[in-house]
Amino acid sequence: MDIKIAIVTCSTTRGREDDTAGAALEQMIRAAGWTPVGRVVVKDDRALISEAIIEACGQADIVLTCGGSGLSLADVTPEATADVCERNVPGIAEAMRATSMLKTRRAMLSRAVCMQRGSTLVLNLPGSLKAATECFEAVSDQFEHVVAMTAGEGH
């Protein structure tokens, strides 16, 4: 099954050229046989992140945000996600935290969310290369089922 996935990196300190986590996610998407349909970097600004999510949802089955889900006051990705999504999908973010807790206790500090905007899944990933790729690996085996279910297919 082909899945279209967009990446929105949220960072005030990085541009596209040094977005290592976003670039690695793009490679992992291709390696899984899916299609990356866009990768942008936006500043840690709630309105800008929300705008980027809305735009990405117009072309993707799944939108991965990268960064901005920690405890810094500048980290507003979960709020921006909630601003433009309708339905919470808590199990996916919980699974990422549970898997990450096996590697570092700091995983409990993640505020990442997973929500739906229409038929598009929006998932907040951490901003670091290591954490983003580990979290992707922890949950991406469910992506095909997610896309099938949102398309109205049965279990």
Q: Residue range 72-95: average pLDDT?
A: 97
Predicted pLDDT of residue 34: 98
Q: Does the pLDDT value for residue 94 go beyond 90?
A: yes
CATH architecture of 4-140: 3-Layer(aba) Sandwich (3.40)
Q: Provide the greatest CA pair distance for the chain.
A: 43
pTM of the model: 0.96
Residues 6+ apart with CB under 8 A from 124: 65, 68, 69, 77, 78, 81, 93, 111, 112, 113, 114
Q: Does the pLDDT value for residue 108 go beyond 80?
A: yes
Predicted pLDDT of residue 16: 86
Q: Residue range 109-117: average pLDDT?
A: 98
- CA dihedral in degrees (129, 131, 135, 136; nearest 10)? 0
Token pair in block for residue 106? 């700091």
Dihedral class, residue 7 (left if φ above 0, else alpha if ψ from -120 to 50, else beta)? beta
